[in-house]
């Protein structure tokens, strides 16, 4: 096979995206918009969600299983679309991936926040596990020692989003409560450090006010993926309509409804794997 043909065969392989549940579909949605020619295989570990309450060893074990499954699907890139996995198990993914590029939501969000607020004051909201891991703050300080990072765990946001209460008085009051201490620090940017949070963007923008820039990890991950594919010559430049596969470990009753809300379109067929 000529070098050119080998590159084009590699470029035609799908991108593997994974998450502990449905939240990572916001990353898939951003990828579809940013990279409309790319095939995507999405894996959601819906039988074992939530990961946030599990030990690091368990999360690492599950992450290794999912990484191996996606590598068997011959993916050309892996995207860790779960902040909890990215916070505590990204090393597991990179070790197994070998020369396949790995991108994660924390790296993407932290890089974008620092680029847009050099030496600035940055707020981060996320689940308790992500916030307690301090992964965003550590990554941002590694990129720019001058930034000040103010983090806030928002445990009620995930159930409110999955309930569909995206513009509900209860959600608004919850957001005002959670954001008060962060906004009191006069942050210039606010990182949405959970893949559920992009659905709350209109409400969060209202609560945070016009002076605060919202950093959507889903959008920044899609940007980083596009740049990485371009740099490594793996971007798909031709071909017909992109193909999307959705693989889960359980199909809960509300999965279709919630999934379509996250994706902004019909999910079509969902495959289930038994572990």
Distance CA 129, CA 31 (A): 25
Distance CA 20, CA 162 (A): 14
- 144 and 256 in contact (C-beta within 8 Å)? no
| pLDDT for res 76 | 97
Distance CA 2, CA 23 (A): 40
**pTM over 0.95, yes/no:** no
Ordered mean pLDDT values, 10 residues apiece, the chain (275 residues): 62 95 95 97 93 86 97 98 92 96 96 92 94 94 97 95 95 98 97 95 97 95 96 88 94 85 92 89
Name, in order, each residue with C-beta under 8 angstroms of 1's C-beta and a sequence gap of 6 or more. Answer: 9
Catalytically annotated residues: 82, 194
DSSP classification of residue 152: E
- 189 and 166 in contact (C-beta within 8 Å)? no
| pLDDT for res 227 | 97
| pLDDT for res 58 | 93
| pLDDT for res 1 | 45
């Amino acid at each position: 096979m000529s070098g050119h043909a080998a590159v084009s065969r590699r470029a035609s392989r799908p991108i593997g995206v994974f998450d502990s549940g449905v939240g990572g579909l916001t990353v898939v949605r951003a990828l579809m918009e940013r990279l409309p020619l790319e095939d995507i295989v999405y894996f959601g570990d819906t039988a074992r969600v939530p990961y946030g309450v599990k030990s690091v060893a368990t999360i690492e074990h599950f992450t290794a299983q999912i990484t191996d499954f996606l590598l068997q699907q011959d993916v050309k890139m892996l995207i860790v679309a779960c902040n909890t996995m990215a916070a505590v198990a990204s090393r597991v993914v990179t070790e197994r991936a070998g020369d396949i590029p790995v991108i994660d939501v924390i790296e993407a969000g932290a890089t974008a926040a620092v680029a847009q607020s050099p030496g600035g004051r940055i707020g981060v909201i996320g689940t308790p596990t992500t916030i307690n891991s301090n992964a965003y703050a550590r990554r941002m300080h590694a990129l720019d020692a001058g930034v000040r990072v103010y983090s806030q765990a928002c445990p009620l946001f995930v159930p409110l989003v999955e309930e569909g209460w995206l513009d509900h008085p209860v959600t608004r009051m919850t957001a005002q409560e959670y954001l008060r201490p962060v906004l009191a620090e006069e942050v210039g940017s606010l990182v949405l450090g959970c893949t559920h949070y992009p659905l709350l963007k209109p409400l969060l923008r209202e609560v945070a006010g016009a002076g605060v820039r919202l950093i959507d990890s889903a959008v920044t991950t899609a940007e980083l993926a596009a740049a990485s594919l371009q740099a490594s010559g793996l971007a798909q430049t031709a071909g017909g309509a992109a193909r999307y596969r959705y693989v889960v470990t359980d199909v809960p009753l509300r999965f279709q409804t919630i999934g379509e809300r996250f994706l902004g379109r019909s999910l079509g067929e969902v495959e289930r794997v038994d572990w």
